[in-house]
Amino acid sequence: MRTEKKKTRIRVNGKRLAVSILVLLLAVSAVIFVATRIGDAIREKRDANVPDGPDPAVNEPSNGTGSETNPGGNGGTGNDPNGGTAAPDPAETARTYALENGVLMLLNKDHSVDEAYKAADLVSLDEAICCSDRPAETHFLRAEAAEAFAKMIAAAKADGFEIKATTAYRSYGYQNALYTNYVAKYGQEEADRFSAKPGTSEHQSGLASDISAASVDWALTNKFGDTKEGKWIAAHCAEYGFILRYPKEKSEERTGYIYEPWHVRYVTVPVAQEIMNDKLVLEEYLEKYHITQ
Ligand SMILES: [Zn+2]
């Protein structure tokens, strides 16, 4: 009798032990499952953030040297962190490049070029990104600007916005005809607010283009600034090296021309980003760095 009782107790205890192990195993696998899910979620979130942040990714090599200092820093008198050999300031290098390349050329009511001025590297834009009802002779930009312009228009298209150049390069003669026409129509005082006298137009530089969209019937109107296309340009043009040359806030008194959300001007990416981020106009940027021309 006694032994039988003992046996049953052992059997009961054995059963309890098996149940406990099972519960423990279940708990452990539950913890592992939850931990894996959290890990996946974090990874997914990190991956999802990548397309949103092209700028930080681009900046990483220059800014992110902190984490990479160890391999080089073991060498001794850490060149990297202290900058013993003075590395050139990237912003200054970019500015010098733009200046030497003629991309910071200033054309306004006080700065002009003569009738014969024509950049040597004008290239034709793809007609698919130009308004076909404007003369083909105006569908040119300087090579670097043309390439950047095409990229910007393609990026807009990829985001669902169709934007086209109306006129880009304009010769002195073309601008002369345009200006004379506006003066006849609106009077000189009014025409001078939005149209440049020949020789003072940015369009002669081959670095500027007017753009528009179907939503404003391909017209040059300040309504373009309120369209989805105009907002896209304002938000993204600097990524491709363009600025809004005549912004709303300080156009007329600072640039001499009314607000023109349709007029973009190429200045290279780093310069454009500084101008757009700091809400400058080209004149202010050039003054800031004492660039005279
Ligand atoms: Zn223009």
What does the pLDDT look like over 181-217, one tens digit per residue? 999 999 999 999 999 999 999 999 999 999 999 999 9
Q: Going by DSSP bridges, is the β-strand pair 208-212/242-246 parallel, antiparallel, or unpaired?
A: unpaired
Of 82, 57, 59, 58, nearest to 72 (Cα)? 82
Centroid of ligand 1 to alpha carbon of 166 (angstroms): 9
Centroid of ligand 1 to alpha carbon of 203 (angstroms): 6
- Token digits of residue 29: 């696998």
Mean of the per-residue pLDDT values of the chain: 81
Centroid of ligand 1 to alpha carbon of 96 (angstroms): 26
Q: Are 276 and 247 in contact (CB under 8 A)?
A: no
Structure confidence at residue 20 (pLDDT): 61
Centroid of ligand 1 to alpha carbon of 24 (angstroms): 74
Of 240, 243, 233, nearest to 281 (Cα)? 243
> Would the pTM count as exceeding 0.85?
no
Q: Check pLDDT > 80 for residue 155.
A: yes
Centroid of ligand 1 to alpha carbon of 108 (angstroms): 12
| Type of residue numbered 60 | E
Q: Check pLDDT > 50 for residue 257.
A: yes
Centroid of ligand 1 to alpha carbon of 141 (angstroms): 13
Centroid of ligand 1 to alpha carbon of 162 (angstroms): 19
Identify the bridge partners of residue 210 per DSSP, sorted by sequence position.
Answer: 263
| Type of residue numbered 124 | S
What does the pLDDT look like over 79-138, one tens digit per residue? 444 445 678 888 899 999 999 999 999 999 999 999 999 999 999 999 999 999 999 999
Centroid of ligand 1 to alpha carbon of 129 (angstroms): 16
End-to-end Cα distance, the chain: 114
Q: What DSSP character marks residue 129?
A: G
Centroid of ligand 1 to alpha carbon of 66 (angstroms): 44
The Cα 290–Cα 268 span in angstroms is: 18
If phi > 0 it is left, if psi is from -120 to 50 it is alpha, else beta; for residue 35 that is: alpha
Centroid of ligand 1 to alpha carbon of 262 (angstroms): 7
Query: What 3-state DSSP class applies to 141?
Result: strand
If phi > 0 it is left, if psi is from -120 to 50 it is alpha, else beta; for residue 247 that is: beta
- Cα–Cα separations (whole angstroms), residue 200 to 159, 196, 253: 35, 6, 17
Structure confidence at residue 64 (pLDDT): 33
Please identify every residue whose CB atom is under 5 Å from ligand 1, which is an ion. 210, 263
Q: What DSSP character marks residue 88?
A: P
Centroid of ligand 1 to alpha carbon of 17 (angstroms): 84
Instruction: Quote the percentage of the chain above a pLDDT of 70.
Output: 71
Centroid of ligand 1 to alpha carbon of 77 (angstroms): 53
Centroid of ligand 1 to alpha carbon of 261 (angstroms): 9
The Cα 113–Cα 165 span in angstroms is: 23
